[in-house]
Chain A
Amino acid sequence: NAGVTQTPKFHILKIGQSMTLQCTQDMNHNYMYWYRQDPGMGLKLIYYSVGAGITDKGEVPNGYNVSRSTTEDFPLRLELAAPSQTSVYFCASLTGSEQFFGPGTRLTVL
Chain B
Amino acid sequence: TQLLEQSPQFLSIQEGENLTVYCNSSSVFSSLQWYRQEPGEGPVLLVTVVTGGEVKKLKRLTFQFGDARKDSSLHITAAQPGDTGLYLCAGETSSASKIIFGSGTRLSIRP
Contacts and interface: CB of A to CB of B under 8 A. Distances in A.
Interface of A: 31, 33, 35, 40-45, 48, 50, 56, 58-59, 90, 92, 94, 96-99, 101-104
Contact of B42 (A31, A41, A94, A102): A102
Given A97-B50, A97-B92, A31 B104 contact: no
B68 interface: no
Q: Is the interface of A mostly helix, strand, loop or mixed?
A: strand
Interface residues of B, number: 27
B106 A40 contact: yes
A31 B92 CA distance: 12
Contact of A31 (B1, B41, B97, B100): B97
Given A98-B45, A103-B41, A103-B42, A42 B98 contact: no
Contacts of B97: 31, 48, 50, 94
B96 A56 contact: yes
A97 B104 contact: no
A72 B103 CA distance: 29
B43 interface: yes
B73 interface: no
Contacts of A98: 33, 45, 48
B63 to A, nearest CB: 13
A52 B98 CA distance: 16
Nearest to A44: B101
For the complex of A and B, 9 pairs with smallest distance between CB atoms: A101-B42, A43-B101, A42-B104, A42-B103, A97-B48, A42-B101, A97-B31, A50-B96, A31-B97
Contacts of B31: 97
Contacts of B90: 43, 99
